[in-house]
A and B are shown apart, each in its own frame.
Chain A
């Protein structure tokens, strides 16, 4: 079977992601931004598929595109968009943005120039059929403690949200 991870698909997905990402920050309409973000996230899921990580791709679609983005849209529709569109952005956060973009660019240059020595030259061969099982083995075996800590953090966040949202408990 010929591999699907051809350069053509990489550039297609990467281009979609970049266009989606640019649209997210340039659209004035918040719903359009959210839709562009969904496109970018779906392209990212495709990228995970190209990396032979089907489980991560499926979880990306279920959680981000199907769950979190729907909540985003829900909130955007509840708030008054008419006023938000006319308001000028009041916080001056662009120096931070510039700095992080510069750092990211530096990283890219570093990877491009030294990538051959820093990164492995060949892709790790994980049998695609047991991808999910391998993730489970790592998550509940080697990294059990980190996994549980993360779930505890989420639990605290959920309880905090309930405490803040509910007037009387």
Chain B
């Protein structure tokens, strides 16, 4: 048993899926499932808190210090709530709709590369798999809206299907232009790939960015930037978030497609929505922002820089602990706040302890290259940078929601078809043309020089 566990760790640098190690694959799946669930709960709190502060409110303050226990209270409330299925609803479709949404949102996680080997598996069609499975989530929305047998959910479902199909086109074209960048030689001295064969594998895409010494966001400036922008807009429409949250527009459709849902089923929809948000953000990070790569992996190469950048996870947790301590110190010294104060202090202490632990790992691993511990430290650093990049996107989601007013449906459609789609097509053609032309020009210049 132990040797089976260690055989993967000591082996080649492969994901568990590639190595055919089912036990480690299962462990990775469980870790990812637990991690995503925790992230969804944390997002629930952060979203309410950040939105409140942007609107000069306090947000949740009652349950736990600064409302930290609010997501747990909400989850308990949702579990205890009565689970209603409307009498005229199609009960089987009503029952299975949230499960389909949840399933498609969580299935995509098996190809997300959190690190060079920190993915459940690596498929040679990785990005296509992600797009395909996440496009199935619209079925859950449509089924939920139809099965409710009610007017508002039906309109929400119709809007959702039209919106998702429209934005998927622009999204797909933007993704293709990034996939093209994995194959075309690159600028000047960066022609590392050489054979000119691209890849669809998520890990391969990040490795191509490492080999070409550039995030695809900045490649063929500004083509990569425009493609990224199109994807960033389309992914908000795909996840039904503000300002494109027309399928669940509160002021028009009560709650849109999940109006008739209550209790645990409703919470499954929320879980699926947030999990899908994290998933599409990871696609964006993988395709354009270098995935797990730390900043400047080539310009600032070498073990010393690796060591310095691997200190960031611990420092982040220490900073979070310091913020918690700040709140602990600032809390009034009234007996009424005693329990809350103790709780916040304990939470800050736990965060700081995690920070110290994460700081200790790179120090312990320094100078022991090739050991399991060193591999663990490197993996930790990679996963940290991936999560940090995804976190930026999650914050942007909240920021958009607080900033932009909701679009009208005809505006949404015209933006999708008449603005994003033509630009995406133009970027795709331009990327292909530049990729073909640059090697030709290089050869021509070399010919003139020699």
Contact = CB atoms under 8 A, between A and B. Distances in A.
Interface of A: 1-2, 29, 31-32, 35, 38, 54-55, 57-59, 61-62, 65-67, 69-71, 73-74, 77-78, 128-133
A58 B132 contact: yes
Contact of B125 (A35, A66, A132): A132
Contact of A35 (B135, B143, B162, B172): B143
B129 A58 contact: yes
26 contacts: A2-B20, A31-B143, A31-B146, A54-B123, A55-B128, A58-B125, A58-B132, A61-B133, A65-B132, A65-B135, A66-B135, A66-B138, A66-B139, A69-B139, A70-B142, A70-B161, A70-B164, A73-B146, A73-B161, A74-B142, A74-B162, A77-B142, A77-B158, A130-B124, A132-B125, A133-B197
Contacts of B20: 1-2
Interface string B127-148: 0110111011011001100100
Main secondary structure on chain B at its contact with chain A?
Answer: helix
3 closest Cβ pairs, A-B complex? A66-B135, A61-B132, A58-B128
Nearest to A31: B146
A141 B76 CA distance: 59
B: contact size bracket: 20 to 34
Contacts of A67: 135, 165, 168
Nearest to A73: B142
Interface in B94-137: 123-125, 128-129, 131-133, 135-136
B154 interface: yes
Main secondary structure on chain A at its contact with chain B?
Answer: helix
Contacts of B135: 61-62, 65-67
B131 A38 contact: no
Given A62-B131, A66-B138, A132-B125, 20 more contacts: A1-B20, A54-B123, A54-B124, A57-B125, A58-B128, A61-B133, A62-B135, A65-B132, A66-B132, A67-B135, A69-B139, A70-B138, A70-B142, A74-B161, A74-B162, A77-B142, A78-B158, A129-B124, A131-B124, A133-B197
B142 A62 contact: no
Contacts of A65: 132, 135-136, 139
Nearest to B165: A70
Contacts of A130: 124
B157 A77 contact: yes
B350 interface: no
B356 interface: no
A74 B143 CA distance: 11
Contacts, number: 78
B136 A61 contact: yes
A127 to B, nearest CB: 10
A54 B125 contact: yes
A32 B91 CA distance: 12
Nearest to A68: B165
A59 B129 CA distance: 9
A72 to B, nearest CB: 10
Contacts of B123: 54
B413 interface: no
B93 interface: yes
A107 B200 CA distance: 38
Nearest to A57: B125
A38 B128 CA distance: 18
Given A61-B133, A133-B197, A70 B139 contact: yes
Nearest to A76: B146
Contacts of B129: 58, 61
B432 to A, nearest CB: 12
Nearest to B19: A1
Interface in B138-197: 138-139, 142-143, 146, 154, 157-158, 161-162, 164-165, 168, 172, 197
Nearest to B142: A73
